[in-house]
Amino acid sequence: EILADGEPHSGEDIGSRLGVSRAAVWKLVDQARRAGLDIRALPGAGYRLPAPLTLLDAGRISEALGTDVHHYRRLEVRLATGSTNQDLLQDSAPLDHPVALLAEHQSAGRGRRGRHWLSPMGASLYLSVAWPLGVPVAGLSGLSLVAGLAVAEAVDQICDLQVGLKWPNDLYVGRRKIGGILVEVSGSPEGPCKAVIGSGLNCRFPEGVEDTDIDQPWTDLYRASGIAVDRNQLAAAILAQYARDLPVFERDGFTPFVERWNRRDILLDQPVILQLGQESATGIARGVSELGALVLEENGRRRSIAGGDVSLRPDRP
Protein backbone atom coordinates (compact mmCIF):
# COMPACT_ATOMS: atom_id res chain seq x y z
CA GLU A 1 0.00 0.00 0.00
CA ILE A 2 2.86 2.36 0.75
CA LEU A 3 4.49 1.77 -2.64
CA ALA A 4 1.21 1.85 -4.58
CA ASP A 5 1.53 5.60 -5.30
CA GLY A 6 4.51 4.88 -7.59
CA GLU A 7 6.69 7.40 -5.70
CA PRO A 8 10.06 6.52 -4.15
CA HIS A 9 9.98 5.54 -0.46
CA SER A 10 13.11 5.07 1.61
CA GLY A 11 13.61 1.86 3.54
CA GLU A 12 13.73 3.96 6.68
CA ASP A 13 10.39 5.63 5.95
CA ILE A 14 8.71 2.31 5.14
CA GLY A 15 10.21 0.77 8.28
CA SER A 16 8.95 3.54 10.52
CA ARG A 17 5.46 3.45 8.98
CA LEU A 18 5.25 -0.31 9.50
CA GLY A 19 7.08 -0.27 12.85
CA VAL A 20 9.76 -2.70 11.66
CA SER A 21 13.53 -2.60 11.10
CA ARG A 22 15.16 -1.83 7.75
CA ALA A 23 16.28 -5.43 7.55
CA ALA A 24 12.64 -6.48 7.90
CA VAL A 25 11.70 -4.02 5.13
CA TRP A 26 14.31 -5.59 2.87
CA LYS A 27 12.81 -9.03 3.59
CA LEU A 28 9.30 -7.80 2.76
CA VAL A 29 10.52 -6.25 -0.48
CA ASP A 30 12.29 -9.47 -1.38
CA GLN A 31 9.15 -11.48 -0.62
CA ALA A 32 6.94 -9.19 -2.74
CA ARG A 33 9.45 -9.32 -5.60
CA ARG A 34 9.44 -13.08 -5.53
CA ALA A 35 5.63 -12.90 -5.76
CA GLY A 36 6.14 -10.93 -8.98
CA LEU A 37 5.79 -7.31 -7.85
CA ASP A 38 8.12 -5.12 -9.89
CA ILE A 39 9.81 -3.18 -7.06
CA ARG A 40 12.77 -1.09 -8.22
CA ALA A 41 15.61 -0.13 -5.87
CA LEU A 42 16.88 3.42 -6.33
CA PRO A 43 20.37 4.03 -4.98
CA GLY A 44 20.04 6.41 -2.03
CA ALA A 45 16.29 6.94 -2.52
CA GLY A 46 14.73 3.63 -1.55
CA TYR A 47 12.12 1.66 -3.40
CA ARG A 48 9.43 2.39 -5.93
CA LEU A 49 7.04 0.75 -8.36
CA PRO A 50 7.54 1.68 -12.02
CA ALA A 51 4.02 3.16 -12.08
CA PRO A 52 1.21 3.81 -9.61
CA LEU A 53 -0.88 0.74 -8.86
CA THR A 54 -4.54 0.82 -7.85
CA LEU A 55 -4.94 -2.06 -5.45
CA LEU A 56 -7.95 -4.32 -5.53
CA ASP A 57 -10.53 -3.16 -3.05
CA ALA A 58 -13.82 -4.92 -2.29
CA GLY A 59 -15.48 -1.61 -1.34
CA ARG A 60 -14.58 0.01 -4.66
CA ILE A 61 -15.70 -3.02 -6.64
CA SER A 62 -19.06 -3.02 -4.79
CA GLU A 63 -19.45 0.70 -5.44
CA ALA A 64 -18.73 0.26 -9.16
CA LEU A 65 -21.24 -2.61 -9.29
CA GLY A 66 -24.04 -0.32 -8.12
CA THR A 67 -27.31 -2.21 -7.74
CA ASP A 68 -25.74 -5.32 -9.32
CA VAL A 69 -23.92 -5.86 -6.04
CA HIS A 70 -27.09 -7.54 -4.74
CA HIS A 71 -26.46 -10.52 -6.99
CA TYR A 72 -23.53 -11.45 -4.76
CA ARG A 73 -23.75 -12.62 -1.18
CA ARG A 74 -20.03 -12.01 -0.57
CA LEU A 75 -17.23 -10.23 -2.38
CA GLU A 76 -13.78 -10.70 -0.96
CA VAL A 77 -10.25 -9.61 -1.90
CA ARG A 78 -7.19 -11.49 -0.60
CA LEU A 79 -3.64 -10.28 -0.86
CA ALA A 80 -2.32 -13.72 -1.74
CA THR A 81 -3.59 -17.23 -2.05
CA GLY A 82 -2.76 -20.50 -3.80
CA SER A 83 -5.65 -20.41 -6.26
CA THR A 84 -8.90 -18.47 -6.01
CA ASN A 85 -10.74 -21.36 -7.68
CA GLN A 86 -9.34 -23.81 -5.16
CA ASP A 87 -10.44 -21.58 -2.26
CA LEU A 88 -14.02 -21.45 -3.51
CA LEU A 89 -14.11 -25.17 -4.28
CA GLN A 90 -12.96 -25.94 -0.74
CA ASP A 91 -15.51 -23.62 0.85
CA SER A 92 -18.13 -26.02 2.18
CA ALA A 93 -20.66 -23.38 3.29
CA PRO A 94 -24.04 -23.88 1.60
CA LEU A 95 -24.20 -21.77 -1.55
CA ASP A 96 -27.56 -20.04 -1.87
CA HIS A 97 -26.22 -16.97 -3.68
CA PRO A 98 -23.11 -16.37 -5.83
CA VAL A 99 -19.89 -15.34 -4.08
CA ALA A 100 -16.82 -13.68 -5.61
CA LEU A 101 -13.19 -13.94 -4.60
CA LEU A 102 -10.22 -11.99 -5.96
CA ALA A 103 -6.53 -12.09 -5.12
CA GLU A 104 -3.55 -9.88 -5.89
CA HIS A 105 -1.34 -12.95 -6.24
CA GLN A 106 -1.75 -16.68 -6.79
CA SER A 107 1.14 -18.95 -5.89
CA ALA A 108 -0.47 -21.95 -7.62
CA GLY A 109 -2.65 -20.40 -10.34
CA ARG A 110 -3.89 -23.08 -12.67
CA GLY A 111 -5.21 -23.62 -16.17
CA ARG A 112 -6.95 -26.67 -17.53
CA ARG A 113 -5.70 -30.16 -16.70
CA GLY A 114 -3.25 -28.97 -14.06
CA ARG A 115 -1.46 -26.56 -16.41
CA HIS A 116 0.20 -23.61 -14.70
CA TRP A 117 -1.24 -20.08 -14.87
CA LEU A 118 1.40 -17.39 -14.34
CA SER A 119 -0.02 -15.06 -11.67
CA PRO A 120 2.36 -12.26 -10.67
CA MET A 121 1.33 -9.97 -7.83
CA GLY A 122 -0.71 -6.89 -8.73
CA ALA A 123 -0.33 -7.58 -12.46
CA SER A 124 -3.61 -9.26 -13.36
CA LEU A 125 -7.12 -9.94 -12.34
CA TYR A 126 -7.54 -13.30 -10.64
CA LEU A 127 -11.28 -13.47 -10.12
CA SER A 128 -13.33 -16.52 -9.23
CA VAL A 129 -17.03 -16.80 -8.58
CA ALA A 130 -18.92 -19.70 -7.07
CA TRP A 131 -22.34 -19.92 -8.69
CA PRO A 132 -25.20 -22.19 -7.66
CA LEU A 133 -26.82 -23.62 -10.77
CA GLY A 134 -30.02 -25.62 -10.83
CA VAL A 135 -28.84 -27.84 -13.66
CA PRO A 136 -27.08 -31.20 -13.63
CA VAL A 137 -23.34 -31.24 -14.27
CA ALA A 138 -23.99 -32.72 -17.74
CA GLY A 139 -25.88 -29.56 -18.66
CA LEU A 140 -22.87 -27.35 -18.11
CA SER A 141 -21.17 -27.79 -21.46
CA GLY A 142 -20.81 -24.30 -22.79
CA LEU A 143 -20.45 -22.66 -19.38
CA SER A 144 -16.77 -21.81 -19.82
CA LEU A 145 -17.60 -20.30 -23.23
CA VAL A 146 -20.33 -18.14 -21.69
CA ALA A 147 -17.88 -17.00 -19.01
CA GLY A 148 -15.17 -16.18 -21.58
CA LEU A 149 -17.68 -14.21 -23.60
CA ALA A 150 -18.76 -12.25 -20.52
CA VAL A 151 -15.15 -11.39 -19.68
CA ALA A 152 -14.39 -10.38 -23.29
CA GLU A 153 -17.41 -8.09 -23.43
CA ALA A 154 -16.57 -6.53 -20.06
CA VAL A 155 -12.98 -5.86 -21.15
CA ASP A 156 -14.15 -4.25 -24.39
CA GLN A 157 -16.44 -1.96 -22.43
CA ILE A 158 -13.69 -0.78 -20.11
CA CYS A 159 -10.67 -0.77 -22.44
CA ASP A 160 -12.25 -0.22 -25.84
CA LEU A 161 -10.54 -3.29 -27.31
CA GLN A 162 -11.70 -6.13 -29.52
CA VAL A 163 -11.05 -9.18 -27.40
CA GLY A 164 -11.20 -12.45 -29.32
CA LEU A 165 -12.02 -15.96 -28.11
CA LYS A 166 -10.34 -19.25 -28.87
CA TRP A 167 -12.31 -22.39 -28.16
CA PRO A 168 -12.88 -23.45 -25.49
CA ASN A 169 -11.60 -21.07 -22.86
CA ASP A 170 -8.96 -18.59 -24.03
CA LEU A 171 -9.09 -14.82 -24.48
CA TYR A 172 -6.95 -13.17 -27.12
CA VAL A 173 -5.99 -9.76 -28.40
CA GLY A 174 -4.79 -10.23 -31.95
CA ARG A 175 -2.84 -13.47 -31.93
CA ARG A 176 -1.72 -13.14 -28.33
CA LYS A 177 -3.29 -14.75 -25.31
CA ILE A 178 -4.41 -12.24 -22.69
CA GLY A 179 -6.53 -14.39 -20.39
CA GLY A 180 -8.28 -17.64 -19.75
CA ILE A 181 -11.23 -19.22 -18.00
CA LEU A 182 -11.20 -22.28 -15.79
CA VAL A 183 -14.55 -23.81 -14.79
CA GLU A 184 -14.57 -26.43 -12.05
CA VAL A 185 -17.74 -28.04 -10.77
CA SER A 186 -18.85 -29.84 -7.67
CA GLY A 187 -22.22 -31.46 -7.08
CA SER A 188 -24.12 -34.63 -7.82
CA PRO A 189 -24.54 -35.69 -11.47
CA GLU A 190 -28.32 -35.09 -11.18
CA GLY A 191 -27.80 -31.50 -9.97
CA PRO A 192 -28.08 -28.87 -8.67
CA CYS A 193 -24.40 -28.04 -8.68
CA LYS A 194 -21.86 -25.46 -7.68
CA ALA A 195 -19.85 -24.05 -10.57
CA VAL A 196 -16.60 -22.28 -9.75
CA ILE A 197 -15.68 -20.00 -12.62
CA GLY A 198 -12.17 -18.60 -12.54
CA SER A 199 -10.78 -15.95 -14.83
CA GLY A 200 -7.19 -14.83 -15.17
CA LEU A 201 -6.75 -11.64 -17.14
CA ASN A 202 -3.33 -10.07 -17.71
CA CYS A 203 -3.49 -6.35 -16.92
CA ARG A 204 0.05 -5.04 -16.61
CA PHE A 205 2.82 -7.57 -16.32
CA PRO A 206 6.21 -6.55 -14.96
CA GLU A 207 8.78 -5.67 -17.62
CA GLY A 208 10.91 -8.62 -16.59
CA VAL A 209 8.34 -11.18 -17.75
CA GLU A 210 9.68 -12.62 -20.96
CA ASP A 211 8.27 -14.84 -23.65
CA THR A 212 10.18 -17.68 -22.02
CA ASP A 213 7.97 -17.45 -18.90
CA ILE A 214 4.84 -18.36 -20.89
CA ASP A 215 5.28 -20.94 -23.62
CA GLN A 216 3.00 -19.22 -26.15
CA PRO A 217 2.55 -15.65 -27.41
CA TRP A 218 0.90 -13.53 -24.71
CA THR A 219 0.05 -9.95 -23.95
CA ASP A 220 -1.62 -7.80 -21.30
CA LEU A 221 -4.11 -4.94 -21.37
CA TYR A 222 -1.43 -2.31 -20.91
CA ARG A 223 0.69 -3.60 -23.78
CA ALA A 224 -2.37 -4.10 -25.99
CA SER A 225 -4.21 -0.83 -25.33
CA GLY A 226 -1.83 1.51 -23.51
CA ILE A 227 -4.42 1.74 -20.72
CA ALA A 228 -3.41 1.23 -17.09
CA VAL A 229 -6.79 -0.21 -16.27
CA ASP A 230 -8.39 0.14 -12.84
CA ARG A 231 -8.84 -3.53 -12.01
CA ASN A 232 -11.69 -2.67 -9.63
CA GLN A 233 -13.71 -1.24 -12.53
CA LEU A 234 -12.85 -4.24 -14.63
CA ALA A 235 -13.84 -6.72 -11.92
CA ALA A 236 -17.16 -4.91 -11.46
CA ALA A 237 -17.86 -4.99 -15.20
CA ILE A 238 -17.16 -8.75 -15.31
CA LEU A 239 -19.29 -9.47 -12.25
CA ALA A 240 -22.16 -7.42 -13.69
CA GLN A 241 -21.92 -9.30 -16.99
CA TYR A 242 -21.94 -12.67 -15.18
CA ALA A 243 -25.07 -11.56 -13.33
CA ARG A 244 -26.76 -10.86 -16.67
CA ASP A 245 -25.56 -13.93 -18.58
CA LEU A 246 -25.42 -16.82 -16.10
CA PRO A 247 -29.16 -16.84 -15.28
CA VAL A 248 -29.86 -16.93 -19.05
CA PHE A 249 -27.45 -19.86 -19.43
CA GLU A 250 -29.10 -21.64 -16.49
CA ARG A 251 -32.52 -21.24 -18.11
CA ASP A 252 -31.81 -21.62 -21.84
CA GLY A 253 -28.39 -23.26 -22.11
CA PHE A 254 -25.75 -22.12 -24.59
CA THR A 255 -28.06 -21.51 -27.59
CA PRO A 256 -28.63 -17.76 -26.93
CA PHE A 257 -24.85 -17.21 -26.90
CA VAL A 258 -23.82 -19.00 -30.10
CA GLU A 259 -23.86 -15.96 -32.38
CA ARG A 260 -22.19 -13.64 -29.90
CA TRP A 261 -19.46 -16.23 -29.36
CA ASN A 262 -18.87 -16.92 -33.04
CA ARG A 263 -18.47 -13.19 -33.75
CA ARG A 264 -15.40 -13.20 -31.50
CA ASP A 265 -13.98 -16.55 -32.62
CA ILE A 266 -10.38 -15.87 -33.70
CA LEU A 267 -10.18 -19.12 -35.67
CA LEU A 268 -13.58 -19.00 -37.40
CA ASP A 269 -13.34 -20.44 -40.93
CA GLN A 270 -9.60 -20.95 -40.60
CA PRO A 271 -7.47 -24.06 -41.01
CA VAL A 272 -6.73 -25.53 -37.59
CA ILE A 273 -4.92 -28.38 -35.92
CA LEU A 274 -6.64 -30.07 -33.04
CA GLN A 275 -4.67 -32.06 -30.53
CA LEU A 276 -7.01 -34.65 -28.99
CA GLY A 277 -4.94 -36.36 -26.33
CA GLN A 278 -2.38 -38.38 -28.32
CA GLU A 279 -4.19 -37.91 -31.64
CA SER A 280 -4.41 -34.88 -33.86
CA ALA A 281 -6.91 -33.77 -36.49
CA THR A 282 -6.79 -31.02 -39.08
CA GLY A 283 -9.66 -29.19 -40.73
CA ILE A 284 -11.49 -25.88 -40.91
CA ALA A 285 -12.94 -24.41 -37.70
CA ARG A 286 -16.63 -23.63 -38.22
CA GLY A 287 -17.47 -21.99 -34.91
CA VAL A 288 -19.41 -23.56 -32.06
CA SER A 289 -22.58 -25.63 -31.81
CA GLU A 290 -25.63 -24.97 -29.64
CA LEU A 291 -23.99 -27.09 -26.94
CA GLY A 292 -20.75 -25.12 -27.08
CA ALA A 293 -18.88 -27.87 -28.95
CA LEU A 294 -16.30 -26.97 -31.59
CA VAL A 295 -17.48 -27.66 -35.13
CA LEU A 296 -14.63 -29.04 -37.23
CA GLU A 297 -14.97 -29.53 -40.97
CA GLU A 298 -12.79 -32.32 -42.34
CA ASN A 299 -12.91 -32.98 -46.08
CA GLY A 300 -16.33 -31.36 -46.34
CA ARG A 301 -17.84 -33.29 -43.38
CA ARG A 302 -18.60 -31.59 -40.09
CA ARG A 303 -18.22 -33.09 -36.66
CA SER A 304 -18.61 -31.63 -33.17
CA ILE A 305 -15.86 -31.90 -30.61
CA ALA A 306 -17.16 -31.52 -27.09
CA GLY A 307 -14.11 -30.97 -24.96
CA GLY A 308 -11.75 -32.89 -22.75
CA ASP A 309 -8.02 -32.70 -23.35
CA VAL A 310 -8.27 -30.78 -26.60
CA SER A 311 -5.91 -28.02 -27.74
CA LEU A 312 -6.74 -25.95 -30.77
CA ARG A 313 -4.12 -24.14 -32.83
CA PRO A 314 -4.10 -22.30 -36.15
CA ASP A 315 -2.69 -24.50 -38.89
CA ARG A 316 -0.16 -22.21 -40.52
CA PRO A 317 2.17 -23.52 -43.22
Active site amino acids: 112, 177, 313
Determine, following the binding rule CB under 6 A, whether residue 107 of this chain makes contact with ligand ATP: no
Let me know if 152 is exposed, middle or buried by CB neighbors in 10 A (0-12, 13-18, 19+): buried
Stretch that binds ligand ATP, among 6-14, 45-53, 210-218, 229-237 (CB under 6 A): 210-218
Q: Across 134-217, where does the E strand assignment appear?
A: 164-166, 170-173, 176-187, 193-202
Choice between 210 and 215, CB closer to ligand ATP: 215
In sign, the C-alpha dihedral spanning 116, 117, 121, 126 is negative
Of 217-276, which residues contact ligand ATP (CB under 6 A)? Answer: 218
Question: Does 215 engage in binding with ligand ATP (CB under 6 A)?
Answer: yes
With CB under 6 A as the contact rule, the residue among 68, 222, 311, 315 that binds ligand ATP is 311
Is the distance from CB of 294 to CB of 258 less than 8 angstroms? no
Measure the CA–CA gap between 73 and 25, rounded to whole angstroms. Answer: 37
Size of the site for ligand ATP (CB under 6 A): 17
Nearest alpha-carbon partner for 106 in 134, 89, 86: 86
- In the complex with ligand ATP, which residue's Cβ is closer, 39 or 214? 214
State yes or no: residue 170 binds ligand ATP (CB under 6 A).
Answer: yes
Q: Is 115 in the site for ligand ATP (CB under 6 A)?
A: yes
How far is the C-alpha of 181 from the C-alpha of 201, rounded, in Å? 9
Among 11, 98, 142, 180, binds ligand ATP (CB under 6 A): 180
Q: Which of residues 67-106 bind ligand ATP (CB under 6 A)?
A: none
- 124-153 residues in contact with ligand ATP (CB under 6 A) are none
Strand-pair partners of 310: 276
Entry field: residues in the chain:
317
Rounded CA-CA distance 277/60 in Å is 43
In the list 84, 86, 144, 169, the residue contacting ligand ATP (rule: CB under 6 A) is 169
**Which of helix, strand or coil describes residue 230?**
coil
Q: Where do contacts with ligand ATP occur on this chain (CB under 6 A)?
A: 111-112, 115-118, 169-170, 177, 180, 200, 202, 214-216, 218, 311
